Structure formats: C-alpha cells, structure tokens
Amino acid sequence: MFTLIISLLTVLFSNNFGAATVFNAAADSVLVTPKLTPVRLQDKMLNRIYSEKKLGAFVEDGQTIFRLFAPQAVKVTLCIFTKPGDTKAEELLLTKDDDGVWDIALWGEKRGIYYGFKVWHINEDTANGNKPVCVDPYARAVTTFNTYLSPRLGLLADETYDWEGDKWIQRDWRDAIIYEMHVRDMTAHPTAKAKKPGTYMGLTEKGITGGLDYIKALGVNTVELLPAMEFANIELPYKKDSLLGRINTWNPYERNHWGYMTSSFFAPAAYYSEDWKTLQWNTWQGKEGKQVNAFKDMVKSFHREGIAVIMDVVYNHLSEYEMGNLKEIDKEYYFRRTPEGIYTAVSGCGNDLKTERKMVRRLIVESILYWMKEYHVDGFRFDLGKMIDWRTIEEIIREARKINPDVIFVCEPWGGGYDPTGFSVRDWGAWNDQIRNGVKGENPVNGLGWIFGKWFGNNSVQRIQSYVNGTLVRDLNGLFTKKAHSVNYLESHDGYTLGDFIRIGTREVDPAKPVKNVDALVKLTPLQARLNKLAAALLFSSQGMLMIQAGQEFARTKVIPANVAEPDTHKGHIDHNTYDKDNEVNYINYKHAGLNKDLVNYYKGLTRLRNTYDAFRRAKYENVQFYTFEEDFLLGYSIKHEGQRFICLFNPLPHKNHTFDLPEGKWDVLVNKEIAGIKSLAVVNSKVTLEPQTCMILKLK
C-alpha cells in the first residue's frame, strides 16, 4: 500500500508535469514571471484582507476562469490534467491582485478537465516543483485517490440540470419531524433489496424494502443526511508508520464512515454515487462527476414526496490527514493556531478553521447558499456549531433567508461549551440535550433518567414539564427563546441507540458480554417495548422540532459483527461509537424492523397523531396545563388548541399502577401502552389506570 501511495505522490506532488510553456491563454501571450517578493502578512492585516471576486473555476463569456485566494503565497500555478492519475500536466502561472486572489483566464469552455493548484510560500524555492497539488476550495465536483492522504483534483463538471419545477420545501420549523440518516446505511444492507445499494440512486429506488419508500411510510417529513459533502473516507494505517509521522492506535478499520472529515465544501460526496459494494482503496473515486446529478436526483425525489432535505455540515474543522488542501494553501490564514504555531484542537481533530477571518466566513456563507440554489437543499445542521464565530452564524441565516425564508438552521451547540441559548437568540435551532438526558438518562450504566423512574442531574418533574413546553428560557434552566428552536431528540448517530440504551439500562443485557445472536438481542422484551413506547410518546407530544434517528423506530441495535476481519477488540459487543465502521454495525437491517414491527407501527401512529393535530406543535404556553401529583415522576397535562383538547398521561414508575382522574366529558383514547394513532381505541370517562411504565393520550370527543 505504501508503494502505491508513494507512487501517487510522485505523480501529484512532484514537478513531473513535463515542460509545458507557461502562458496566459486568454491574452495569447507569454507571461513574464512576476517578481516573487517575500510576504508574511501580520495577523491584523490578514484579518482585514477581503475580496469580492468570484472564486473557484467557472465558465464566463466564452472563457474558463480559475481563481484562488492565497494571500501569503509568492507563486501559484494551475495544473490541468487530462485524466486523474496522469503523470504529466499542463502547468500555467497565475497572477495575483492586491487582495490576495490569484487567477488566470483561458479561452474556451474547459468543462471535463481535472485541475488543481500548486502554491509556494515565503522561504520556499519557487523553482522547485516538488509541491502538492491543492484542490480548489470552491471545486464543485472532486475526484479523489482513495488513500489516507486523499489527493484530490477539481473536476469542471457540466452542472446543467432539469429540476422540472422543483422548489424548496417551505415548512414551519415546529412542524418538522426529522429523520437523521446516513445515505449509504439506508440501503447498504441486503434486506433493503436495492439494485444500487449504498448510493444516492439506491436511496430513491421505488418498490424496494428500504430507502425512500420506507421513510415515507413512517410519516416523517424531513430527512437529515449525515455529512454528504466530499470527505476523507480513509484514516491512517492501523499501528503502522505513516508518511505524516503519526501512528493510528484507535481505528483498526482505517475508515471514516460517518463523514465528519469534510474536505470540499461545494462538492457532493462521490462515494455515494459509485456502484461499489465497498470502498475501493488506491482507486480514483468520482472521476466521472456523476455525483452532481445523482445528488440532485435524490433531492428531487424526496421533494416529490413532500419530504425536506437537511444536510449535516462540518465547517468547524477540515479533513485532518489529507495533503493538498487549505493547510498547503495558507495554514496561517485558514486555521486557528496557538502562539507557538500549533493547530488548535477544540474540535478534537487538530485543525480548527478560523471562521472569524473574512474570507473563511465568505467561504462558509457561499457554500451554504450554493447548496440551497444549486441543490435545492432545505436546511442545515451544523456540527460543533459553537466553534463558528457569532458574526458568521448571523450572516449565514441572514443571507440564506433571502433565498428561502423558511430554511431550517439547526446546530449541535457544542465546541468550547454547550450554548443553545446563544443560537436561539440569533433565531437558530439547536439540539436539546436536556430533554435527551432528562428522559432517558446520560448513560445506561449509572446515569438513568425519567423513563426508568430515576432523575439524572438536575432533572425533576418541573424540568420534564419544561421539555414538554419547548424548554423555554421563561422556565428555570430553560434554553430557548422560541419552542421552534428546540430540537427534541432521544437518539442520534452519537452514543448508544435508544434501543441499546434501554437494553443495558434495564440490566437485561450486559454490555461487557459478547452478543451471540443479534436477532435475538434486537427482539424487544415486554419491558424494553414499554420503555421505548413511553419515551417515544413523551417525545412526540412535546413542543418544538422533533428528531429521531434511522432505526430508532424499531429499537435498532449496533452490534459489531463477530466475524469482522479487522483486529477490533470489541467485536461481538454493542457499540456506542460507530463513526469508523462501514459494515452491519451501521447498516439499517430491515429484518430487524420486521422483528419489532409493533414498535414501528407505534412510531407510525405517533407521526400521524403529531401531523394531524396542531396542538402537539403549536399550542400556546399557557394552554398546556400540568397536573400535580403527590407521587414523584408521574406526569400529566392537558393541551387546548383551537377548540380541541387533549390529555397526556405518563406513569414511569417501575412497579406501581396509578389511577388518573379525568376532567368531565367523554375521552377517545388515541394512544395507550400498545397502539398509537388517530383512531379511537376506546372511550373513557372519570378515571383511567395506567400500568407501570406506560402512557395514554386522550382527545375530548
């Protein structure tokens, strides 16, 4: 493998491009090499420098223009390849303006070419061509050689596309039922029966078990894609020397499956457009550029079903190991560093982006607007959003709303502290960790929550009541100025699934022991089923945005296969951190959905209930009235909205029935311990008795 990598580096990172004449094709005249004066701009000057010139590679007025912002470079050349892997390239010298932008214009429309830049800095020998070829930060399509160094080239693809009248899904944030999912995982498992498993195309195939048809049947109205911008698929070789001087001791899979190592902010991930059963190492990926239209086809297909598409985006750090990216373009400008010049690592990845710099801010904002305009994306979830400076956060939502006033903005409000309130006052949504930890707990070993008849941290009945009403700042320890800003969730890609959390929390499963039969494990026991339904009913009846993770509806388990080839010391065990595994740990197994069909139907019923009745999304604060009980943990409340009235009752006590008194009138039972939906299951009055760890939702006739 090292031989192949070194061979590739010889091609891409050396001066072996032949003796092409350096000329300005637009002017059809030989360039005079500019005087390369040393530049080392002071920090304050770097903060001020700004350009409004269009950046990247684009066709305009019969020319193809290439522009790169590299304020401290002393020389930049454009390298044009006929195809990826070529040993020679045409190399052309760019000129620099006063604002740090290098450019060249070539006659003709050069669509279909592969290109990159070589960048020299002060104290570097500009006659030495042994430089990495850097990918264009604004490249709209990218081809990558699959190694941990991820050499990339921009592809000037044809972006012509017929949207057939497609527009953004415009929906009140309070109405969003978000399904967090991974493009590949939804159809990679054989039970999905996809013809093109693991791809954008497979995700929208009709008449298969998994993918879009399955998602639509659940009743959710928004999908949130785990990172689908071009990202680094491969990490360092496991426990072997690397060309970067670091040794990987943590990831025997040598993979980054989830995608949180973004490299190109304008390019869709090519991996999801390849007809591969698994990633092909030492192979060029995305060289045909079909990922561009494949992503658009996917969005259009979801929109036809009334389902919005949100992208999980990573602007807080850059792909850590790859060669030929912003680090080589200008590491001092683009990254936060210590006074000693060391990259800061608040992100945990060692290369935090300096978002407060004007041209980094511009890069982020223009990336967002591009995905909205070019791909019709309906919203965004920001990974470690707290690491992005507030001015950038404010500019993002201001500019995006000029395009789509209802565009959804959600952040993971971590990165130097947990601060959803700071986002809420700027009219952003944020993940509500309080409801997650309060309802199920923080960890299943010694941090159980309300559904187990326990209190985690500062939780109490009053805190649970606050979650029901949107976790507003008007309540003690509240977080949000508007309930629409609260993204209520119990499970995400991070940590244990809700199903596994409950399996471990009930002590019916020992996480220290290997699982011998995954099908037997995933099949819910009566206790596990009760707790899953109890948690789901509370989640779906709470005000705010709502999010579930793919597979939550059938109590998905994440067990590392016992037969994986990698030297994983935890194989056969339940996993809580699966970012590195492109295998059945992460794939959605639709057989398991069948094994827990009762829970799937319960989730379907809850989505119908929430979609049908505005009361669970739009009730005024004062119209949600809570009952008081002598017994701790019990929860009951009525909701009045536009002439309708509902009662929600919850008994999380592990071993005790409770009888609830009902207001006068006849009440239709819409949700009980077994079934959820909008059809009356029974008519009751006066009193109802709830068994341990069960719930009931009623509507006044």
Tens-digit pLDDT profile for residues 507-534? 999 999 999 999 999 999 999 999 999 9
Q: Is 495 exposed, middle or buried (0-12, 13-18, 19+ CB in 10 A)?
A: middle
Distance from C-alpha of 347 to C-alpha of 353, rounded to nearest angstrom: 9
Distance from C-alpha of 598 to C-alpha of 674, rounded to nearest angstrom: 8
Q: Where are the beta strands (DSSP E) in 400-538?
A: 408-411, 429-432, 441-443, 447-448, 486-489
Q: Residue 565: which residues within 8 A CB-CB, separation 6 or more?
A: none
Pairing state between β 73-81 and 90-93: antiparallel
Angle, vertex CA 120, rays to CA 259 and CA 262, nearest 5: 5
Distance from C-alpha of 436 to C-alpha of 429, rounded to nearest angstrom: 15
DSSP per-residue letters across 108-127: S--TT-EEEEEEEETTS-TT
Listed in sequence order, the DSSP H helices in 30-169 are 43-48
**pLDDT exceeds 50 at position 30:** no
Q: Residue 630: which residues within 8 A CB-CB, separation 6 or more?
A: none
pLDDT at 320: 87
> Across all residues in the chain, what is the average pLDDT?
93
Closest CA to 544 of 437, 408, 388, 396: 408
A 10 A CB-CB count for 248 gives 17
pLDDT at 24: 31
Q: Is 106 exposed, middle or buried (0-12, 13-18, 19+ CB in 10 A)?
A: buried
Distance from C-alpha of 406 to C-alpha of 398, rounded to nearest angstrom: 11
Q: Where are the beta strands (DSSP E) in 507-577?
A: 545-549
Q: Which two tokens stand for residue 85?
A: 């892997």
Q: Go through 42-73 and write b for each residue having 16 or more CB atoms within 10 A of its CB, e for each that does not.
A: eeeebeebebeeebbbebeeebbbbbbbbbbb
Pairing state between β 63-69 and 101-107: antiparallel
Q: Which H or E element spans position 143?
A: strand 142-145
Confidence at 36, pLDDT banded by 50, 70, 90: very low
pLDDT at 341: 86
Q: Residue 315 in contact with residue 264, Cβ under 8 Å?
A: no
Closest CA to 24 of 72, 86, 77, 88: 77
Minimum mean pLDDT range among 11-15, 388-392, 599-603, 625-629: 11-15
**pLDDT exceeds 60 at position 29:** no
**pLDDT exceeds 60 at position 662:** yes
pLDDT at 653: 97
**pLDDT exceeds 70 at position 34:** no
pLDDT at 87: 84
pLDDT at 11: 45
Q: Which two tokens stand for residue 698?
A: 């009623």
**In this structure, which amino acid lies at residue 317?**
H
Q: Go through 449-471 and write b for each residue having 16 or more CB atoms within 10 A of its CB, e for each that does not.
A: bbbbbbbbeebbbebbbbbbbbb
For the chain, the distance separating the N- and C-terminal CA atoms, rounded to the nearest angstrom, is 70
**pLDDT exceeds 80 at position 15:** no
Among residues of the chain, what percentage have pLDDT more than 90? Answer: 91
Closest CA to 226 of 250, 206, 255, 256: 256
State the DSSP code for 519. H
Distance from C-alpha of 534 to C-alpha of 440, rounded to nearest angstrom: 10
**pLDDT exceeds 70 at position 313:** yes
Distance from C-alpha of 285 to C-alpha of 269, rounded to nearest angstrom: 10
**pLDDT exceeds 50 at position 33:** no
Token pair 């939804």 in the structure block, residue: 186
Angle between helices 358-375 and 291-304 (to 10 degrees): 60
Confidence at 3, pLDDT banded by 50, 70, 90: very low
Q: Residue 263 in contact with residue 319, Cβ under 8 Å?
A: yes
DSSP per-residue letters across 625-644: EE---SSTT-EEEEEEETTE
Q: Which H or E element spans position 382?
A: strand 379-382
For residue 665, give Cα distances in angstroms to 31, 625, 670, 700.
88, 17, 15, 7
Distance from C-alpha of 635 to C-alpha of 467, rounded to nearest angstrom: 12
Token pair 């309930």 in the structure block, residue: 483
Q: Is 297 exposed, middle or buried (0-12, 13-18, 19+ CB in 10 A)?
A: middle
Distance from C-alpha of 231 to C-alpha of 182, rounded to nearest angstrom: 14
Q: Which two tokens stand for residue 185?
A: 């995982």
Confidence at 22, pLDDT banded by 50, 70, 90: very low
**pLDDT exceeds 60 at position 311:** yes
Q: Which H or E element spans position 103?
A: strand 101-107
Distance from C-alpha of 542 to C-alpha of 621, rounded to nearest angstrom: 12
Q: Which two tokens stand for residue 414?
A: 């971590």
Q: Residue 186 in contact with residue 210, Cβ under 8 Å?
A: yes
pLDDT at 39: 56
For residue 203, give Cα distances in angstroms to 209, 216, 313, 378.
11, 12, 20, 18
**pLDDT exceeds 70 at position 393:** yes
**pLDDT exceeds 60 at position 261:** yes
pLDDT at 41: 74
Angle between helices 498-505 and 526-540 (to 10 degrees): 130
What SS3 state is found at 326?
helix
Closest CA to 521 of 561, 556, 469: 556
Q: Residue 366: which residues within 8 A CB-CB, separation 6 or more?
A: 138
Q: Which two tokens stand for residue 473?
A: 């700042």
Confidence at 12, pLDDT banded by 50, 70, 90: low
Q: Residue 520: which residues within 8 A CB-CB, separation 6 or more?
A: none
Token pair 């259009």 in the structure block, residue: 300
Q: Which domains are present in the chain?
A: 2-134 (2.60.40.10), 173-612 (3.20.20.80), 620-700 (2.60.40.1180)
**pLDDT exceeds 90 at position 475:** yes
Listed in sequence order, the DSSP H helices in 249-289 are none
DSSP per-residue letters across 580-623: T--STTTS--HHHHHHTHHHHHHHHHHHHHHHH-THHHH--GGG
Q: Model confidence over 546-585: pLDDT tens digits? A: 999 999 999 999 999 999 999 999 999 999 999 999 999 9
Confidence at 16, pLDDT banded by 50, 70, 90: very low
Q: Could you tell me which residue, 300 or 5, shows the higher pLDDT? A: 300
Q: Residue 160 in contact with residue 558, Cβ under 8 Å?
A: no
Q: What is the pTM of this model?
A: 0.94
Phi and psi dihedrals of 106, rounded to 5? Answer: -115, 140
Confidence at 151, pLDDT banded by 50, 70, 90: very high
